Amino acid sequence: MVIPVNLIGTFRLGELLVLALYPFYMKQILKALRNREVLAIVGLGVLWFISQGLSDLYNSTTMKNSLRGMGSIFLTMTTFLFFCGLYSRNPSQHLGTLLGACAGGVLSAGLLYRFEGNNPGYAQNIWDFYVSGWAHPAFALFAFLFYRSHPWLVFPIGIAYGLVANMYGGRSDGLVVLISTLFLFYLWLQLTHSRGDLRYSMRSGLMLCALLLVPLFLLYVIYAQSGALGKAAKMQIDLAKNPYNPVEVLLLARNESVIALDAIYEKPILGHGSWANPGHLRRLYLLKMREIYGASAPKKLVQDILPVHSVLLGAWVFGGLAGFVFWVYVIFRTFYLSNQLLLTGSIGMTAIAVVYVPYFCWHVLFSPNAFARFSWPMSMAFMIFSVAFFHRSANDTKR
C-alpha cells in the first residue's frame, strides 16, 4: 500500500514498518554485515549514493528532487540491510515475508479498486494493477510448499498463471512464470534420476528453456495479432515491420530504452541527476514515438521524470556510471547465488530461487525503480543467507 508523503515522495507501508523495526534488529544487521556478499553490495550502494549526490550537484538538481532520488537509494539499501538482519539466522523467514507480500498485494488491490476503480487505464490492465502484486509471491509460496511432494500440482498452476496473465494484460508477469514453470519441470525430471550431475542439468535446462521460448514467442505473435491478448499487444504487433523479430517487438513494448540510451550518451559519467526531466530529451522522445506510432503516438508526457522503464538504465541515467555498475554486480551475484542454491539448497528453497530469477531478470532490465525499492531487497537477502545457511550446514556435517 502506498502512503503519500509530500516532502520527499511516497513511502509504502512496508517501508515505514521496516524503519520502525530497525532499532530492534540492529544487532542482527551489524552481524549480517560480516557476510562478504552483503558488505560488497553495501559498499557499491554507498558509491552509487555518493555518485547520485555528485550528479545532483553537477546538474543543479532541486532540493526536493535530490531528496527523492537519494532517499530512494537510501531506502533501497536500508531495506536490504533490514532483511539481511532478519534472515541472517534463519532464511526460511522469507516465507513469512512472502505471505505478508500476498496480504499487502490484496489490500493494495482492494484500495485501488475502491478509490480508482473508474480509471480506464486500470481497467485495461487488470492483471498489472489488481493481481500481480499478490499473485507472484503466492505462486512462489505455492512452489515452495508443493514442489517437493506434489510437483504435478505446480506445473499446471504455473501454466494456467502464465496464460491467464497474458489474457488480462500481464504479459511480462505471465512470461516469467511460464519460464519458471518450464525450468521447474525440467529440474524435476532431473531430480527424479540423480542430483549428482545437477550442474550440467542446470546448464542444459537453461538451453532447453531458451529453445522453448521460440515456439512460445510464435504463439504470442499469433494470439496478439488476433486480438486475444488485448488492444495494446495487438497494436505493438501490428506496428512491427517484422512481427517475428523478438528484438523489434521487445523494443516496441519497452520503447523507453531508446531515450535512456540518448540520455546516457549525453552524460555517461555522472548522469542527469535525480528525477531528471530535461525538455530536449522529452521532445526527442515524443518525436521518436511519432516515428514509430504515427497518429496514435502520445502528444505529451505527463510524468514529472524522464520515462526510463529500466532499473539498470535508470540508475545510469539519473545517478551516473556508479549506479549502472551497482546493478551489473547485483545481476552477476544473483546468478552466482542462484547457481549455488540450486546445487546445495533444499528442494523448497530451490523452487523459490527458480521462481525469482526470471522475475528478477525481467524487472531489473525492463521495469522502473519501484522494483529496486520494494521487491529486490528481500529477495536478494534471501538468496545470500540461504546459500550461507546451506554452506554452514554442509560444513557442520563434515566435522
Confidence of residue 2 (pLDDT cuts 50, 70, 90): very low
How far is residue 218's CA from residue 236's CA, in Å, rounded to a whole number?
A: 15
Task: Please tell me whether residues 239 and 283 are part of one structural domain.
Answer: no
In a domain, 130, yes or no: no
Mean pLDDT throughout 83-110? 91
Question: What is the CA angle 371-376-379, rounded to 5?
Answer: 145
Task: Please tell me whether residues 266 and 370 are part of one structural domain.
Answer: yes
Confidence of residue 82 (pLDDT cuts 50, 70, 90): very high
Q: Which residues lie below 8 Å from residue 76, measured CB to CB, with a gap of 6+?
A: 45, 372, 373, 376, 377
Mean pLDDT throughout 322-341? 93
Kindly tell me if the per-residue pLDDT of 1 is higher than 50: no
Exposure letters 266-286 (e unless 16+ CB within 10 A, then b): ebeebbbbbbbeeeebbeebb
Mean pLDDT throughout 125-144? 90
Mean pLDDT throughout 135-145? 94
Task: Please tell me whether residues 53 and 80 are part of one structural domain.
Answer: yes
CB of 80 closer than 8 Å to CB of 32: no
The pLDDT tens digits for 169-206 are 888 898 899 989 988 888 887 776 655 555 555 566 66
Mean pLDDT throughout 120-149? 86
How far is residue 322's CA from residue 47's CA, in Å, rounded to a whole number?
A: 6
Task: Please tell me whether residues 16 and 71 are part of one structural domain.
Answer: yes
- pLDDT attached to residue 342: 82
The pLDDT tens digits for 195-241 are 555 555 556 666 666 677 677 777 777 777 777 666 666 767 776 66
Task: Please tell me whether residues 270 and 367 are part of one structural domain.
Answer: yes
The residue behind cell 526527442 is 284
Number of folded domains that form the chain: 2
Distance, first Cα to last Cα, the chain:
47
Confidence of residue 74 (pLDDT cuts 50, 70, 90): very high
How much is the mean pLDDT over the chain? Answer: 83
286 or 216, greater pLDDT: 286
In a domain, 116, yes or no: no
Kindly tell me if the per-residue pLDDT of 322 is higher than 80: yes
In a domain, 100, yes or no: no
- pLDDT attached to residue 331: 94
CB of 33 closer than 8 Å to CB of 78: no
Kindly tell me if the per-residue pLDDT of 58 is higher than 90: yes
In a domain, 202, yes or no: yes
196 or 140, greater pLDDT: 140
In a domain, 263, yes or no: yes
Task: Please tell me whether residues 73 and 160 are part of one structural domain.
Answer: no
The parent domain of residue 211 ranges over 136-254
The pLDDT tens digits for 332-342 are 999 999 888 88
Asked which of 207, 226, 254 is the last residue of a domain, the reply is 254
- pLDDT attached to residue 5: 47
Lowest-pLDDT choice from 202-211, 256-265, 274-283: 202-211
Kindly tell me if the per-residue pLDDT of 260 is higher than 80: yes
Task: Please tell me whether residues 151 and 239 are part of one structural domain.
Answer: yes
Asked which of 230, 254, 278 is the last residue of a domain, the reply is 254
Asked which of 254, 269, 285 is the last residue of a domain, the reply is 254
In a domain, 197, yes or no: yes
Kindly tell me if the per-residue pLDDT of 324 is higher than 90: yes
Kindly tell me if the per-residue pLDDT of 99 is higher than 60: yes
Task: Please tell me whether residues 273 and 381 are part of one structural domain.
Answer: yes
In a domain, 167, yes or no: yes
**pTM: predicted TM-score of the whole model, two decimal places:** 0.86
Mean pLDDT throughout 272-293? 81
Other C-beta atoms within 10 Å of 202: how many? 19
Task: Please tell me whether residues 237 and 274 are part of one structural domain.
Answer: no
- The dihedral over CA atoms of 245, 250, 256, 259, expressed in degrees to the nearest 10, equals -30
Task: Please tell me whether residues 269 and 385 are part of one structural domain.
Answer: yes
Task: Please tell me whether residues 247 and 337 are part of one structural domain.
Answer: no
Task: Please tell me whether residues 376 and 264 are part of one structural domain.
Answer: yes
In a domain, 329, yes or no: yes
